[in-house]
Amino acid sequence: MAQTLNSYKMAEIMYKILEKKGELTLEDILAQFEISVPSAYNIQRALKAICERHPDECEVQYKNRKTTFKWIKQEQKEEQKQEQTQDNIAKIFDAQPANFEQTDQGFIKAKQ
């Protein structure tokens, strides 16, 4: 029971690291805590459970017997920033010229 609680606490730490880093693997868990492979698998299982409770924040991907944890919210924020930038660029290009005219003396004034 103590090992389970300890693994879960370590998984919570890895969850916070995942949020900052954006992606984690078993190797990251091993490097972070300098533990044995079986202990790292216990932490990985606990981290999977945490991700299952927060599907809008974390995603577990499996490829070639390798488990990767990905932080989803960060990707969504980057996509939203890109969309906002594209919208701003479109607004700039779609903007109508200001209602100004140049006077005989070279000054610019608003059209009336």
Name residue 105's amino acid.
Q
What is the mean predicted confidence (pLDDT) over 65-87? Answer: 80
Q: In terms of pLDDT, which residue wins out, 80 or 46? A: 46
Where do the domains of the chain lie? Answer: 2-73
Q: What is the pLDDT of residue 1?
A: 40
Amino acid at position 97, single letter: P
pLDDT for the residue numbered 105: 74
What is the arrangement of strands in the sheet containing 23-25, beginning at the earlier edge strand?
A: 23-25, 66-71, 58-63
Q: Terminal CA-to-CA distance of the chain, rounded, Å?
A: 81
Contact between 3 and 40 under an 8 Å Cβ cutoff? The reply is: no
Strands annotated E in the chain: 23-25, 58-63, 66-71, 100-102, 108-110
Architecture in CATH for domain 2-73: Orthogonal Bundle (1.10)
CA separation, residue 80 to residues 72, 73, 77, 84, 85 (Å) = 12, 10, 5, 6, 9
**26-35, 51-60, 77-86, 99-108: least confident range:** 99-108
pTM of the model: 0.62
